[in-house]
Amino acid sequence: MGSKRGRWSVPVVLALGTAAIVGGWTGTATAGASTTSVAPGAQINVGAISSRTGPLAGFFGGLAPGMIAYFKTIDATGGVNGHKIVLTQNLDDGGSPSQFTQLTHTLIDQDHVFAVGVASAWFTPNYFVSTNTPTYGYNVSANWQTAPNLFAVGGSTQIYSSAYSSLSWFLKKVNAKSVAFVSYGPGIASSYDACSAYAKAMKKAGYNVYSDVSAQLGGSYSSDVQRMQQAGSQAVVTCIQASDDITLGRDIQQYGLKIKQLWLNGYDQALLNQYRSVMQNVYVEDVGDVPFEAANTAKYGNTYPGMQQYLAAMKKYEPSYVLNSVTFDGWQSAALLAAGVKAAGSNVTQASVISATNNITNFTAGGLSSPVNWKVSHVSYTVPNCTNYVQVNGSKYVTVFAKGKQVFVCVNSSVNNPKVVTPPKGTPGA
């Protein structure tokens, strides 16, 4: 039931019974347009497209390693219903929309892959939908919505209002009555749409708001910091990529601005290892996911065995990507495909896997996320919004705000009076 969007926006929670189709793909899905089937015991081939080079490479490149590690883990025990699942193609769109389109046709028309994993800001769904190709991946735009064969990690919706109450709760928790928002311009919709929506909502809720929703990718943020000082901003929420968060953080330090920082992207140990001095005390929000820190048995015991298993597999198969949040999405994407194949039984076709997946009502990727109900997750969201917050302390991220062995903070739907509520049934750690 709970879920998330991409890290440039507060990931949304999907909700039972609240239909809200917003933007995204608007074409017509042709059910059964693709008839690709898999013979009993045959290998299932999967392709991936991600931005492994180009300006966003550091952000999107981790999806395929997560998928590879999951497939190798299950294949080592015989696969799914006798089928080994293998990532046979890992393609790089270079941060180019035209290259993404070309690679889409390469995977579907030339390589005839059964399913595709995607991590790209340039994701265009039309050909995936018209060919009824099972498609999984990292959600940074409304393009993932409505079509039944598009399975973004944690849910395919982009409904920003679902996150307003959690954001308001965070601001109250850190005693911030004046807040700044920083995003890129409309040309990068996944960034702009999120922060512009949050800024308007928080202003309506009574917060003093400064916003810059036209920042440049790879630009300077010194003018923003000066304006935050002038506005008396006590917190800043960023919808920008991690390298620009670092630039902003440096400027905040340079100007001596005392301000709480909430990054919606930046939960990456490699990033922290490199920029430890800049990231001290920064908060990072990761809605719907169990944090890597949940594997700490001294604090959590064996409450989160799924995370322990994930980390062990990553260290074995893809050790360079162990603590990468997009890699974690790749693992969850692979787990959902495997769950669909298992549910399809002996009749493994693209259509049957899509249908079977859309009947899964409590997917947690083996205890790694709040439950996702795929009967509704293409079009709607749920409350409460369950989020894990981590804060940088020295060389580590530390879970904060949650109590006991629970890693999630679940908040009701009220923006003006947000309150913590009990996690939904099936939530890991509940």
pLDDT surpasses 50 at 275? yes
All structural domains of the chain, each given as residue ranges with its CATH number in brackets, are 21-154+302-378 (3.40.50.2300), 160-287+384-430 (3.40.50.2300)
**pLDDT tens, position by position, 306-315:** 999 999 999 9
Structure confidence at residue 325 (pLDDT): 87
Structure confidence at residue 268 (pLDDT): 86
> Which one has a higher pLDDT value, 105 or 383?
105
pLDDT surpasses 70 at 64? yes
pLDDT surpasses 50 at 111? yes
**Edge to edge, what strands does the sheet with 44-50 contain?**
85-92, 44-50, 115-119, 135-137, 150-152
Structure confidence at residue 22 (pLDDT): 28
Q: What mean pLDDT is predicted for residues 368-397?
A: 91
**pLDDT tens, position by position, 43-55:** 999 999 999 998 7
pLDDT surpasses 80 at 227? yes
The widest CA-to-CA distance across the chain, in whole angstroms, is 67
Question: How many whole angstroms separate alpha carbon 67 and alpha carbon 86?
Answer: 9
**pLDDT tens, position by position, 348-381:** 999 999 999 999 999 999 999 999 999 999 998 7
Q: What mean pLDDT is predicted for residues 277-298?
A: 95
pTM attached to this predicted model: 0.87
Structure confidence at residue 79 (pLDDT): 97
Question: How many whole angstroms separate alpha carbon 173 and alpha carbon 391?
Answer: 14
Structure confidence at residue 89 (pLDDT): 96
User: How many helices (H) and strands (E) in the chain?
Assistant: 14, 14
> Which one has a higher pLDDT value, 430 or 173?
173
Among 38, 70, 31, 28, which Cα is nearest to 306's? 70
pLDDT surpasses 60 at 15? no
Q: What mean pLDDT is predicted for residues 18-29?
A: 33
**pLDDT tens, position by position, 69-105:** 999 999 999 999 999 999 999 999 998 999 999 999 9
Q: What DSSP letter does each residue of 262-326 carry, written as one string? A: EESS--BHHHHHHSHHHHTT-EEEEETBPPGGGG-HHHHTTS-HHHHHHHHHHHHH-GGGTTBHH
pLDDT surpasses 90 at 36? no
pLDDT band at 241 (very low <50, low <70, confident <90, very high): confident
Query: Side chain identity at 76, as an amino acid letter?
Result: A
Tell me what the pLDDT averaged over the chain comes to. 89
Tell me the three-class secondary structure of 324-347, residue by residue: EHHHHHHHHHHHHHHHHHHHHCCC
